[in-house]
Amino acid sequence: MTVDLLAAWLLSIMLSASPPGKSRRPAEAIESADQGKARYAAIARAIAQVSLDPKEQPLYQGKQGRAQTAALLLAISYHESTWRRHVDLGLGPRALGGGRYWCMMQIAVDPRKTAPGKTAERKTAEGWTGRQLVQNRQRCFRAGLHILQRGKRYCGKRGGSSFINHYASGYCDRGSKAVAVRLRTYRRWLRKHPISSRPVPQPAPRRSQAGKASR
């Protein structure tokens, strides 16, 4: 599967799950449907590029393992941020969950004190600051994928979804309720949108009522 095909498939899921342009608050989340669709397309492409990167280990094995990996990243980001504009772009005071969590994958990047009254930006395991995660979507999803990959290593003996528990809580045996919700979404999407090697057709734009009347 190519980046273009995988991105088109992911975009079709996004448009169905959370049609863009409907957010009314906060102000930083507001955008038109067309603006939102263009932003969604960029998000889908970033996930596809990270998931298909041969340097990255997929979370699932088999022919569709990388597409399934992309779908899981999409499901987690949906529940963490609903792909809302202000979270995606890091805009406004409500963009960061509790001031700790960055980008659509809500990666925890805590500030650390360097001296009394002073703090320095803490970095992820990759060496990225929270602001850098927001500035580059591939960094956001790559950092999220790396946390899941570490969960695979740390929680391997437990099997199942324990590696996602590690993402949600930092532990292999906690966070099961939140993970169950994310997995239900992931599995529902795979049933509703079967993985295909063919291009995903986009719906034709609706004709306006005025256009219909003029014919």
| Residue spans per domain, the chain | 3-109+119-197
pLDDT attached to residue 118: 62
pTM: 0.86
Q: Across residues 67-81, what is the average pLDDT?
A: 98
| pLDDT top residue among 202 and 171 | 171
Alpha-carbon dihedral sign for residues 169, 172, 178, 181: positive
pLDDT surpasses 50 at 146: yes
Structure tokens at 11: 């975009």
Containing 204, the helix (H) or strand (E) segment is: none
* Among the ranges given (6-20, 25-39, 154-168, 191-205), the one the predictor scored with the smallest mean pLDDT: 191-205
Cα distances (angstroms) measured from residue 184 to each of 15, 27, 100, 125, 177:
18, 31, 26, 29, 11
The Cα 199–Cα 189 span in angstroms is: 17
In percent, the amount of the chain with pLDDT more than 70 equals: 84
Structure tokens at 26: 């906060």
Containing 56, the helix (H) or strand (E) segment is: none
Cα distances (angstroms) measured from residue 30 to each of 2, 86, 91, 116:
32, 8, 11, 39
pLDDT attached to residue 208: 42
pLDDT attached to residue 75: 99
pLDDT surpasses 70 at 21: yes
Q: Which residues lie closer than 8 Å to 52 by C-beta, 6 or more apart? A: 1, 2, 3, 6, 66, 70
* Among the ranges given (22-36, 156-170, 195-209), the one the predictor scored with the smallest mean pLDDT: 195-209
Three-class DSSP category at 170? coil
With CA atoms as reference, report the closest residue to 101 among 70, 72, 134, 76.
134
pLDDT surpasses 50 at 161: yes
pLDDT attached to residue 93: 77
Quick: pLDDT tens for 82-99: 999 999 999 987 777 556
Q: Would you say 75 and 182 are in contact if contact means Cβ atoms under 8 Å apart?
A: yes
Q: Would you say 111 and 121 are in contact if contact means Cβ atoms under 8 Å apart?
A: yes
The Cα 64–Cα 68 span in angstroms is: 6
Strands 112-115 and 118-120 turn out to be: antiparallel
| pLDDT top residue among 121 and 35 | 35
Which conformational region is residue 92 in: left (phi greater than 0), alpha (psi within -120 to 50 degrees), or beta? Answer: left
pLDDT attached to residue 205: 46
pLDDT, the chain, mean: 88
